[in-house]
């Protein structure tokens, strides 16, 4: 009988650990075009767990190929990125991206965070948090880095240019001040 009590106590603890370790996921249907996006809670905030694919002026599919939009989402200039998120969601600012990065790095460490964010099936990551970062590349003067890196806009801007967040080799998730005409992916954050 004592063995069974210990076994069930261990089983309960193991199940509780698994439940807390699994990402809290859901979906959101964008009423503008009917597209359904995966969502995930990281920290206490709900993020879209896919790059948004809503078509606005000054956005494009990588290499202007529709199949790339289906796989990687659209790329947006900074101006277009500010219009991409649906009602009730917004383009995250630098402070929100910093809090996101802190949650991941505090849990996994800076070096492991890179692998924990990368998609399991579209990149060589573990996707531990369900954020499913895909190597969508970017567009500067031309489309570059497909399969190599991921770039996201922040809503924080200065003097007409803006900040981008980059997940790229050798494994850093960093913020840089970027030219607003570049085209990056967009991840939307649910409003409070």
Task: Report percent pLDDT > 70 for the chain.
Answer: 89
Instruction: Give the pTM.
Output: 0.87
Neighbouring CB atoms inside 10 A of 167's CB total 21
- The CB-side HSE value for 109 (13 A sphere, CA atoms) comes to 2
The answer to the question of residue 15 being in a domain is no
Query: For the chain (length 192 residues), average pLDDT per consecutive 10?
Result: 53 41 90 98 97 98 97 98 98 97 91 90 93 97 96 96 93 91 98 94
- Domain containing 88: what range? 23-190
The answer to the question of residue 112 being in a domain is yes
pLDDT score, position 171: 79
Neighbouring CB atoms inside 10 A of 143's CB total 18
The answer to the question of residue 121 being in a domain is yes
Q: Strand, coil or helix: what is 98?
A: helix
The answer to the question of residue 159 being in a domain is yes
The answer to the question of residue 9 being in a domain is no
pLDDT score, position 94: 98
Q: How many domains does the structure of the chain reveal? A: 1
pLDDT score, position 12: 46
The answer to the question of residue 14 being in a domain is no
Closest to 42 measured CA to CA, from 126, 93, 105, 87: 105
Q: What is the pLDDT of residues 113-140, one digit of tens each?
A: 889 999 999 999 999 999 999 999 999 9
Q: Are the beta carbons of 52 and 68 closer than 8 angstroms? A: no
Summarize the chain as % helix, strand, coil (round to 5): 30, 30, 40
The answer to the question of residue 47 being in a domain is yes
Q: How far, in Å, CA of 101 to CA of 58, rounded?
A: 28
Q: Give the bridge partners for 29, in sequence order.
A: 36
Q: How far, in Å, CA of 50 to CA of 90, rounded?
A: 14
pLDDT score, position 170: 79
End-to-end CA distance of the chain: 49
Q: How far, in Å, CA of 81 to CA of 58, rounded?
A: 9
The answer to the question of residue 6 being in a domain is no
pLDDT score, position 18: 39
pLDDT score, position 1: 63
């Amino acid at each position: 009988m004592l063995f069974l009590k210990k076994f069930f106590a261990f089983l309960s603890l193991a199940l509780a650990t698994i439940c807390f370790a699994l990402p809290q996921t859901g979906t959101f249907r964008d009423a503008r075009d009917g597209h359904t996006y995966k969502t995930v809670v990281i920290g206490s905030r709900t993020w879209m767990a896919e790059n948004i694919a809503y078509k606005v002026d000054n956005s494009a599919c990588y290499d202007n190929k529709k199949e790339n939009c289906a796989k990687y989402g659209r790329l947006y200039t900074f101006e277009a990125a500010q219009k991409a998120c649906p009602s009730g969601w917004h383009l995250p600012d630098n402070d929100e991206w910093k809090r996101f990065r802190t949650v991941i790095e505090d849990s996994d460490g800076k070096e492991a965070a890179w692998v924990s964010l990368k998609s399991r099936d579209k990149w060589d990551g573990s996707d531990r948090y369900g954020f499913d970062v895909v190597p969508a590349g970017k567009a500067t003067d031309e489309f570059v880095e497909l399969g190599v890196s991921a770039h996201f806009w922040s809503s924080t801007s200065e003097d007409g240019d803006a900040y981008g967040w980059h997940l790229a080799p050798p494994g850093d998730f960093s913020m840089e001040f970027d030219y607003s005409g570049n085209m990056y992916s967009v991840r939307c954050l649910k409003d409070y």
